[in-house]
Structure formats: C-alpha cells, structure tokens
Amino acid sequence: MKRPGLGWVLGWLGCCIASAVQAQPTRMVDIREGSYIPLFGTTPPVAVQVDAFKIDITPVTHAQYAEFVRRHPAWRKSTVKRLFADEGYLSAWSGDTAPPAERRNSPVTTVSWHAASAYCSAQGKRLPTVDEWEYVAMADDKRRDARTDPTYNEAILRSYEAPRTYLRAVGQTAPNVWGVFDLHGLVWEWTSDFNSILITGESRSGGTDSMLFCASGSVGASDLMNYAAFMRYAFRSSVNASHTINSLGFRCAQDR
C-alpha cells in the first residue's frame, strides 16, 4: 500500500490544527454594572439596573457548535427531540457533526432556544438576558450609550437590510467600546428571556399584547426614535423556544 506523501500529511495536519483553533471557546469580556432605560417599561420611564457580568465577544460559530454536539449526542441533528427544536434544526449541515466547511467560522444558526441554552450550560455559561444584551448593544466604538446619536440607529437599520449576513465570519467588524463584536448586522441572537416583553401583568389591568408589536409598540415606548430596537423586540416576540431560523444565532454570558 502506497504511503501518503509529505504534502498530504502536512495538509491534513493543517486542517486538524485549524479546526481545533476554530472550535476553541469564545473569549469573554467583563461588562461593568450600570443602568439603561429599556424600550418598553413604565410611564414615566424608569432605568433598569444591570449587574456586572461577562459576555462572549462574538456569536457561537458552526465549528464550536459541532464540537458541542460531538460531546452531547442528544443535541445532534438526527437525535434532537422535536419538543426542543423544529424540523429546521441545523438544516445546512450534511450530517450530525458536519457543518458546511465554508461556514465553520460563521455564526451557527437554525439553533433553537433550548439548544442554545444547552450549549451555554455545557460551557459553564448561560444566555444573556434581554437587559444585558440591550445594555451592551447600545454602545458604539466610543460611547457606552450611543442611542442619542441619530447616525447610530441609522447605521444599525442599514445593517439589518443586508442579505444573508449569517454567511459572514464572526469578528470581522469593529468592536464596540466594551470590546464586543457583531451585536448588529450579522444575526439576530437568542436571549434567556427573549419573550419577556409579552408579560404585561394581570389581564384585568387593561393592557394588551398588541401594544408591544411593530408600529403600535411606539405607544408604550420610552424612545420613539429607536426603530432599530423596535425591530429586535418585534422579532423576539414572533418566535418560540423550539423555532430555528436562518438568521437567528446566539452568544453566551456568565455571572461575575
């Protein structure tokens, strides 16, 4: 039997090394405690306190998620329970542990909330809350809160219009002031309490969930100009925990 040449061996080793590097856990950064006024809340608006925490600097990639399902077979494409993920789960993968080669460093999508939560738990982490995510996402590259700058929201809205951004690699854009990448313009992201905006208290209070969607949401909003945030809240309100969507990924957070 003919032995493989040196070039083939070196190429194989290079592929293995590259895969191992890509599958390493995402680096986290510390987020200092602070407060922000959420899009929806009380009248008059009341600031919400956000405790210090850590967050991944980029979304979880296909390569990282492939390593997770290798270690946790219950979350493989062929074995996941439909209660926890719909039929679209990992639809771009050709097998249980085989993401598209050209997307190994792109954000993993078509992953349900249940699966994203399980991944973060396996890393000793958790999904960020809506408040944590929005608190970090209101920053630009110089300010912790850039929402008063009209160009900030305009840039986010323009990024939402770009097609098939989930095919791009993570970490290719400039980080914000916290050192976090890709919060806007790459994929939507799961949060631990993604549907918490639907909780309006006792139905006898006269509030209705219709006030929280799309244009009608502006009635109860604290910032009538923040249409980029309206889109995020509307998207979160449209999904349930078993849904898998091409443009929906996630990153992890951790208590400090």
pLDDT (mean) for 134-140: 93
Q: Does residue 5 lie within any of the structural domains?
A: no
For residue 32, give the 3-state DSSP assignment.
Answer: coil
Total structural domains within the chain = 1
Q: Does residue 10 lie within any of the structural domains?
A: no
Lowest mean pLDDT among 52-61, 99-108, 205-214, 227-236: 205-214
Q: Does residue 177 lie within any of the structural domains?
A: yes
Cα angle 29-24-7, degrees, rounded to a multiple of 5? 140
Q: Does residue 8 lie within any of the structural domains?
A: no
Q: Does residue 226 lie within any of the structural domains?
A: yes
pLDDT at position 124: 97
For residue 217, is pLDDT > 80? Answer: no
Q: Does residue 7 lie within any of the structural domains?
A: no
Q: Does residue 175 lie within any of the structural domains?
A: yes
Say which CATH number the domain at 189 has. 3.90.1580.10
Q: Does residue 148 lie within any of the structural domains?
A: yes
pLDDT at position 24: 78
> Count of CB atoms within 10 A of residue 72's CB?
15
Print the domain residue range for 247. 18-255
Please count the residues of the chain: 256
